[in-house]
Structure 1
Amino acid sequence: MFYHNLKLAFRTLLRNKIYSLVNIGGLALGIAVFLLLLEYVSFERSFNNFQENAGNTYRLLNEDQKNSFWPEIEPGWAPRAKEKFPAIIDYCRLESDVAKGILQRNTGNAPAFRETSIGFAEGNFFEFFSFPLLKGNAASFHAPNTIFLSAGSAEKYFGNEEPVGQQLILSNQFGKTIYQVGGVFEIPANSDIRYDQVLSLETLRNPANLNGNDWAALENTGSQYLQTYLRLTPGTTPELLETKLTALRNEVGKENDGVRFRLQSFQHLHLAASLNDSFPTAGNIKYLYILSLISVLILLIAWFNYVNLSTAQALKKANEVGVRKIAGASRLSLIGQFLVEAMLVNLLGFVIALLLVYFLQPLFNSVMALKLSPADILSSSAWMFGSGLLLAGSLLTGTYTAFALSGFNPIVTLRNRLTRSGSGSRIRKTLVVTQFAISIALIIGTVLIYQQLRYLQEKNIGVTKAQMLIVRGPEAGKDSSFNQRQVAFLQMLSRYPFVEDYAGSGTYPGGWYNFVTSGFTQPGSLKGDEFKSYAFAIIDERYLPAFEIPLVAGRNFRPEETGIPWDKNNKVLLNETAVAALGFKNPDDVLHTPVQWDERALQVIGVVKDYNHANLKKTIMPMIFYPQNSSAYCCIRLASGSVSQHIAGVEKLYKQYFPGNPFEYFFLDENYQRQYAAEKQYGQLFTAASVWAVIIACLGLFGLTTFTVTSRTKEIGIRKVLGASVLDITQLLSRDFLLLVGIAALIAFPVAWWAMQRWLQDFPYRINISWWVFALAAVIASVIALITIGFQSVRAALSNPVKNLRTE
Structure 2
Amino acid sequence: MENALGKTLVVNNQFGKTLYNVTAVYADMPENSDIQFDAILSLQTLANPANLNGNGWARLDGFDGSYVTNYFQLTGKANSATLESKINTLKTKLDPQDKSKFVLQPMSQIHLGSSMDDPYQTSGSLSFVYLLGGIAILILVIAWFNYINLSTAASLKRAKEVGVRKVVGAGRFQLVNQFLGESFLLNIIGFVVAVLLVYSFQKPFNDFTQKNFSIERLLADPSWIAAAILLVLGAFLSGSYVAFSITSLQPIQILKGTSGLKLNAGKENWLRKVLVIAQFSVSIILIIATLVLYKQLQYMQNKDLGFKAEQRLVINGPQLEDDKALGTSSALLDNQVSALPYVNNLCHTGIVPGNYYSFNAAGIVKQGEKSDDAKKGYAMGIIDDRYLSVFQIGLVTGRNFTVHEAEQGWEKSGKLMINESAARQLGFESPQKAAGAMISWGQSFEIVGVVKDYNHQGLQKAVDPIIFMPRRSGGKLVLQLATTNMQRQLKELEALYKAAYPGNPFEYYFVDQKYNEQYNDEKQYSQVFALASMLAIFIACLGLFGLASYMTEQRTKEIGVRKVLGASIASILALVSKDFLRLVIISILIACPIAGYLMKKWLQDFAYQTDIAWWMFAGAGGLVIVIAILTVGFQSLKAALMNPVQSLRNE
- TM-fit CA distance, 1:172: 3.4
Amino acid at match of 1:265: P
- TM-fit CA distance, 1:434: 0.7
Aligned pair 1:580/2:424, yes or no?
yes
Q: Which residue of 2 aligns with 1:713?
A: 556
Q: Deviations over 1:471-493 (max 9, x none)?
A: 11122123413212212221222
- TM-fit CA distance, 1:186: 4.9
Q: Single out whichever of 421-430 and 743-752 deviates more from structure 2.
A: 743-752
Q: Which residue of 2 aligns with 1:294?
A: 135
Q: What secondary structure sits across from 1:262 in the alignment?
A: coil
**Cα RMSD after superposing both structures:** 2.6
- TM-fit CA distance, 1:411: 4.1
Amino acid at match of 2:280: F
Q: Deviations over 1:402-460 (max 9, x none)?
A: 22333444444445565563100010111111111111111111111121122122211
* Alignment CA distance shift 1:361-1:807 (3 Å): farther
Amino acid at match of 1:712: R
Q: Deviations over 1:649-708 (max 9, x none)?
A: 222222222222111111111011111112212222222211111111111112211221
1:750-789 matches, within 5 Å, as 750-789=593-632
CA distance in 1, matches of 2:84, 2:20: 39
CA distance in 2, matches of 1:168, 1:683: 50
Q: Which residue of 2 aligns with 1:701?
A: 544
Q: Which residue of 2 aligns with 1:648?
A: 491
Aligned residues: 642
* Alignment CA distance shift 1:749-1:464 (3 Å): same
Q: Which residue of 2 aligns with 1:682?
A: 525
Q: What secondary structure sits across from 2:429 in the alignment?
A: coil
Q: Which residue of 1 aligns with 2:27?
A: 185
Q: Which residue of 2 aligns with 1:372?
A: 213
Q: Single out whichever of 526-535 and 713-722 deviates more from structure 2.
A: 526-535
Task: Give yes or no for contact 2:92–2:99 (8 Å, CA) kept in 1.
Answer: no
1:619-634 matches, within 5 Å, as 619-634=462-477
- TM-fit CA distance, 1:583: 1.1
Task: Give yes or no for contact 1:477–1:660 (8 Å, CA) kept in 2.
Answer: no
Q: What secondary structure sits across from 2:286 in the alignment?
A: helix
Q: What secondary structure sits across from 1:232 in the alignment?
A: coil
Q: What secondary structure sits across from 1:261 in the alignment?
A: coil
* Alignment CA distance shift 1:433-1:221 (3 Å): closer
Paired-residue identity, %: 43
Task: Give yes or no for contact 1:471–1:663 (8 Å, CA) kept in 2.
Answer: yes
Amino acid at match of 2:405: E
Task: Give yes or no for contact 1:477–1:658 (8 Å, CA) kept in 2.
Answer: yes
- TM-fit CA distance, 1:181: 6.9
Q: Which residue of 2 aligns with 1:172?
A: 12
CA distance in 1, matches of 2:12, 2:566: 89
Say which of 219, 239, 244 aligns to 2:86.
244
Task: Give yes or no for contact 2:365–2:373 (8 Å, CA) kept in 1.
Answer: yes
Task: Give yes or no for contact 2:218–2:224 (8 Å, CA) kept in 1.
Answer: yes
Aligned pair 1:428/2:272, yes or no?
yes
Q: What secondary structure sits across from 1:287 in the alignment?
A: helix
Q: Which residue of 2 aligns with 1:269?
A: 110
Q: What secondary structure sits across from 1:461 in the alignment?
A: coil
Q: What secondary structure sits across from 2:418 in the alignment?
A: strand
CA distance in 2, matches of 1:415, 1:618: 70
Q: Which residue of 1 aligns with 2:240?
A: 399
CA distance in 1, matches of 2:43, 2:219: 36
Amino acid at match of 1:172: N
Q: What secondary structure sits across from 1:191 in the alignment?
A: coil
Q: Single out whichever of 773-782 and 516-525 deviates more from structure 2.
A: 516-525
* Alignment CA distance shift 1:606-1:566 (3 Å): closer
Aligned pair 1:794/2:637, yes or no?
yes
Aligned pair 1:325/2:169, yes or no?
no
- TM-fit CA distance, 1:395: 1.5
* Alignment CA distance shift 1:755-1:458 (3 Å): same
Q: Which residue of 2 aligns with 1:360?
A: 201
Q: Which residue of 2 aligns with 1:749?
A: 592
CA distance in 2, matches of 1:379, 1:531: 48
Q: Which residue of 2 aligns with 1:522?
A: 366
- TM-fit CA distance, 1:344: 2.1
* Alignment CA distance shift 1:290-1:199 (3 Å): same
Q: What secondary structure sits across from 2:340 in the alignment?
A: coil
Task: Give yes or no for contact 1:486–1:631 (8 Å, CA) kept in 2.
Answer: no
Q: Which residue of 2 aligns with 1:465?
A: 309
Q: What secondary structure sits across from 2:310 in the alignment?
A: coil
Q: Deviations over 1:302-343 (max 9, x none)?
A: 111111222222243233233333444333332233232222
Q: Which residue of 2 aligns with 1:534?
A: 378
TM-score normalized by the length of structure 1: 0.75
Task: Give yes or no for contact 1:175–1:211 (8 Å, CA) kept in 2.
Answer: no
Q: Which residue of 1 aligns with 2:340?
A: 496
Q: What secondary structure sits across from 1:481 in the alignment?
A: helix
CA distance in 2, matches of 1:534, 1:171: 28
Amino acid at match of 2:214: S
Aligned pair 1:562/2:403, yes or no?
no
Aligned pair 1:230/2:72, yes or no?
yes
CA distance in 1, matches of 2:18, 2:444: 34
In structure 1, list runs of 5 or more residues that go unmatched: 1-157
Q: Single out whichever of 279-288 and 506-515 deviates more from structure 2.
A: 279-288
CA distance in 1, matches of 2:621, 2:552: 25
Say which of 161, 171, 176 aligns to 1:335.
176
Q: What secondary structure sits across from 1:502 in the alignment?
A: strand
Q: Deviations over 1:68-100 (max 9, x none)?
A: xxxxxxxxxxxxxxxxxxxxxxxxxxxxxxxxx
- TM-fit CA distance, 1:235: 4.2
Task: Give yes or no for contact 2:382–2:470 (8 Å, CA) kept in 1.
Answer: yes
CA distance in 2, matches of 1:335, 1:239: 53
Q: Single out whichever of 222-231 and 326-335 deviates more from structure 2.
A: 326-335
CA distance in 1, matches of 2:436, 2:191: 74
1:304-315 matches, within 5 Å, as 304-315=145-156
The answer to which structure has the higher strand fraction is 1
- TM-fit CA distance, 1:648: 2.2
Q: Single out whichever of 202-211 and 617-626 deviates more from structure 2.
A: 202-211
Q: Which residue of 1 aligns with 2:286?
A: 442
Aligned pair 1:667/2:510, yes or no?
yes
Q: What secondary structure sits across from 2:275 in the alignment?
A: helix
In structure 2, list runs of 5 or more residues that go unmatched: none
Q: Which residue of 2 aligns with 1:345?
A: 186
Q: What secondary structure sits across from 1:231 in the alignment?
A: coil
Q: Which residue of 1 aligns with 2:320?
A: 476
Task: Give yes or no for contact 1:525–1:583 (8 Å, CA) kept in 2.
Answer: no
Q: Deviations over 1:336-383 (max 9, x none)?
A: 332322222222222222222222222222211222233333455533
- TM-fit CA distance, 1:776: 1.2
CA distance in 2, matches of 1:592, 1:225: 31
Task: Give yes or no for contact 2:398–2:450 (8 Å, CA) kept in 1.
Answer: yes
Task: Give yes or no for contact 2:184–2:232 (8 Å, CA) kept in 1.
Answer: no
1:198-237 matches, within 5 Å, as 198-199=40-41, 201=43, 216=58, 221-237=63-79
Q: Deviations over 1:230-263 (max 9, x none)?
A: 12344444344333212322333x3223212222
- TM-fit CA distance, 1:794: 1.3
* Alignment CA distance shift 1:603-1:210 (3 Å): closer
Task: Give yes or no for contact 1:474–1:631 (8 Å, CA) kept in 2.
Answer: no
Q: Deviations over 1:553-606 (max 9, x none)?
A: 1111111121114421211111111111111122111224322223x1111111
